[in-house]
Amino acid sequence: MSAPPRWDGALLRGPVHGPLPVLLLVMTTATGLVDAVSVLGLGRVFVANMTGNVVFLGFAVAGAPGFSLAASLAALGGFLVGALAGGRLAAARAHRRGHLLRDVALIEAVLLFLGVGLLAGAGTPGSGLASAVAASAAVALGLQNSAVRRLAVPDLTTTVLTMTLTGIAADVRSAGRPVVTRRVLAVVTMFVGALAGALLVLHVGLAPALLPAPLLLVLVVVVLAVAVRRPAPWAPREVTGRPVRNPSS
């Protein structure tokens, strides 16, 4: 089997990843929105970044004020359930990358719309409601993480930026412009999502702050629903078996 073509840096069109890079950047923005709501409104819990969530879980167990043990556990459990389901969905969508991301984004949107409905009119959510919303959102982000890991678009993990930031600094002299560009865009889109989410939480409310995230995912679904109708060299790339190594994961 011949080696796959090397990514030429195209974010929207290209034989290697097609529209996947720009759609993953849209999903990165949605991640920033969701984590803004979870951290600021659900008891200081991450639903996308499990490194931060495990740290917050330690704070909650220690009895630090402002951290919710129930919400952190719900998010951790939900994330694992979502990742498990995402792995099985990836196996079922063998060699159909667009279909995989479309289906995952659709499920995510439904789960986040559920969170919006739960938060609507709730004011400050109690422990039970916060845990339910955190669990629902974490399942969605677990699905996303599992699918994105299988797609293996370099530097676009949609949820974690540690290795992306490391790469920007460590490879500043050796990396080409396309590499630096996609890494910077990953950071910027996460920042924009978090900023927008925080402003909405502080000045409007939790439900309106969460609402843009599933709307962005619906946009991803619509774009992919159109894209997968036409044969393209990026669409059948490997999504089964052993995941392709992603330097940012």
Which band of pLDDT confidence, cut at 50, 70 and 90, is reported for residue 171? Answer: confident
Which residue reads 């929105």 in tokens?
Answer: 33
- Answer whether residue 53 shows pLDDT above 70: yes
Which whole number is the average pLDDT over 141-154? 92
Which band of pLDDT confidence, cut at 50, 70 and 90, is reported for residue 195? Answer: very high
Which band of pLDDT confidence, cut at 50, 70 and 90, is reported for residue 1? Answer: very low
Please, which contacts does 13-20 make with residues 24 or more away whose CB atoms are closer than 8 Å?
14/234, 15/233, 15/234, 16/233, 16/234, 16/237, 17/153, 17/234, 17/237, 18/98, 18/227, 18/232, 18/233, 18/234, 18/235, 19/223, 19/224, 19/227, 20/97, 20/98, 20/101, 20/151, 20/153, 20/234
Of 127, 135, 128, nearest to 73 by C-alpha is 135
Q: Which tops the pLDDT comparison, 2 or 41? A: 41
Which are the contacts of 238, defined by CB distance < 8 A and separation ≥ 6? 95, 244
Average pLDDT, the chain: 87
pLDDT tens per residue across span 11-29: 667 677 889 999 999 999 9
Which whole number is the average pLDDT over 201-208? 96
Q: What is the pLDDT of residue 172?
A: 72
- Answer whether residue 4 shows pLDDT above 90: no
CB atoms within 10 A of CB 51: 11
The vertex-206 CA angle with 156 and 145, nearest 5°, equals: 25
- Answer whether residue 80 shows pLDDT above 60: yes
- Answer whether residue 103 shows pLDDT above 90: yes
